A = this chain, B = another copy of it.
Amino acid sequence: GFAKVDNHRSLRNGFPEVIYCEGKSLAEIEAIVKEMLKHENNILASRAEKEVYQQIKKIAPEAVYYERPKMIFIEKRKLKKTKSKILVVSGGTSDMPVAEEAVITAEALGNSVERLYDVGVAGIHRLLGNLDKLDDAEVIITVAGMEGALASVIGGLVDKPVIAVPTSVGYGANFGGLSALLTMLNSCASGIGVVNIDNGFGAAYLASTINLQIEKAREEG
């Protein structure tokens, strides 16, 4: 027989099941959530329009909606928060939906999360005034659009895992986020792992697998 390799996940009760709503009809989403509600796991829905939330609320009244990142969270069991921390850093106001997608996802996966927003290179002194926040975290997610230089600057400042999320914020030669994506892949600061454009969810998921490994090591010695 064939079996899922690692089962650290199943050891942590409450670990959410996830629905990516884009491209699914209201009826499809409702059916999937109904199925999921039969188990005792938490449920996280991403890229969900408000109408989706309104429908889901009827069958899961404890559902909470996060407007900016368009996420729904149904918490059926509280997860113990990790001791180590994920810091989400973002460049500008327009990057916030993606940054918040990362924050909500990371929290739903049981991580302690901090925010450091609006510290893009156009106002680099704001970043340099918050070095202690970089110092305090175990894993850093940097979210940046336009040219995405923020990821490089942070990668140059710390020696910790940095997960970089390019956003599609920008226009013209930005080519829908390509510019920030290439910046992050070519960064002369070592130690940066890149995810897809606007993929706050994926960044948080990766950061969480890292953070849970750290947590497990702390707990198990």
- Which residues of A does B touch, CB under 8 Å? 2-6, 8-9, 18, 22-24, 28, 84, 91-94, 120-125, 128-129, 131, 134-135, 138-139, 146-149, 152-153, 155-163, 166, 168-199, 201-202, 205-206, 208-210, 213-215, 217-218, 220-221
Q: Are A193 and B195 in contact (CB under 8 A)?
A: yes
| A186 cross-chain contacts in B, Cβ below 8 A | 146-147, 170, 172-174, 179-180, 196
Q: Are A171 and B190 in contact (CB under 8 A)?
A: no
In-complex Cβ contact of A153 among B124, B169, B190 (8 A): B124
Q: Are A5 and B157 in contact (CB under 8 A)?
A: yes
Q: How far apart sit A174 and B195, CA to CA, in the bound complex (Å)?
A: 12
Q: Are A213 and B172 in contact (CB under 8 A)?
A: no
In-complex Cβ contact of A172 among B3, B23, B198 (8 A): B198
Q: Taking A182-B179, A213-B138 as contacts, is the C-beta distance between A193 and B206 under 8 angstroms?
A: yes
Q: Are B179 and A183 in contact (CB under 8 A)?
A: yes
In-complex Cβ contact of A135 among B6, B201, B202 (8 A): B6
Q: Are A196 and B221 in contact (CB under 8 A)?
A: no
Q: Taking A182-B178, A185-B173 as contacts, is the C-beta distance between A2 and B221 under 8 angstroms?
A: no
The 3 closest A-B pairs by CB, nearest first: A193-B193, A172-B197, A149-B149
Q: Are B218 and A158 in contact (CB under 8 A)?
A: no
Q: How far apart sit A217 and B196, CA to CA, in the bound complex (Å)?
A: 29
Q: How far apart sit A175 and B161, CA to CA, in the bound complex (Å)?
A: 26
> Closest approach, in angstroms, between the C-beta of A169 and any C-beta of chain B?
7
Q: Are A209 and B160 in contact (CB under 8 A)?
A: yes
| A156 cross-chain contacts in B, Cβ below 8 A | 121-124
